[in-house]
Structure 1
Amino acid sequence: MKCPFCSHENTRVIDSRPTEDNNSIRRRRACDECGKRFTTYEKIETIPLIIIKKDENRETYDRAKIEGGLLRACHKRPVSAQQITMLVDDVENEIFSREDKEISSQVIGELLMNKLKDLDAVAYVRFASVYREFKDVNTFVDELKKMLE
């Protein structure tokens, strides 16, 4: 690592620790030439994930959209924000571990519904009703019957 003060190429790491969000590493360094200290951050470079929507349009993955949908489904339900965050983390781990550059929104929706079913049945039905675009009451009742079996 090059020193930002004297441009000398020999620096050493004095301290290394994860940042508060655990998404990068903070390193304190000292220059062997001028003795000055500075901080660097090391972050994993990720390939952007592309979501293929139902209408075949493509857009970049946006965690906030998933969280928003889950928050609406869990509104006035005994589901904490931490549980929602953990659910989204689980789904993210699954989709990013596939190492695909593109993934269907349907795959993500099914993963979310499977995890939400175990978390809260009412939130699951709410999410499913929007995600699966129930056209009438019979479709809604059919989904409820599947869940009760």
Structure 2
Amino acid sequence: MRRRDGLDFHFHPNAGVKQHSEISGTMKVTHLALLILLVKVSLVVSEEPEQCKPGFSEQRYAFTVTRKVLERRRVIGKVSFTSCSANNRALYSSDDTRFQVFPDGKVTVKRQLTLHDGSVSFVLNAWDAKGTRHSVPILVWNEREQQVADSFGRS
């Protein structure tokens, strides 16, 4: 074929086009590289940076109050529990029905009670993400009653 400027022009049907085997080979390498990348990313995501240990942050809790009669809904303290779940919320259950614990760990008086002896204790249970129960003793004591008892003991 001759161009307008008079030079010969040769047409080749596959000129500038990669062969099918060349394309599929490149695609195979690309797919393999993507697969390796995905495997590496999934391994990094699935690895836990630290082993989570569920349980209460303390071995026991002591909450001080300043009155003998504790009215309903009064917040007396807060416990900290690691459940090793995504939201780290726990299901709590008190062995004393006069107390209630909310998912954020706030301990409240469920029904009014009087600390006749100056204190009351109970066990609080919580369940972690695997369903294992963890228990902790809680002491609620009236600071003023203790001060009176101390003053009589010193005389």
TM above 0.5, one fold?
Answer: no
The higher radius of gyration belongs to 2
Compare the two structures and name the one with the higher strand fraction: 2
- TM-score where L is the length of structure 2: 0.24
Higher RCO, 1 vs 2 (CA within 8 Å, ≥6 residues apart) = 2
- TM-score where L is the length of structure 1: 0.24
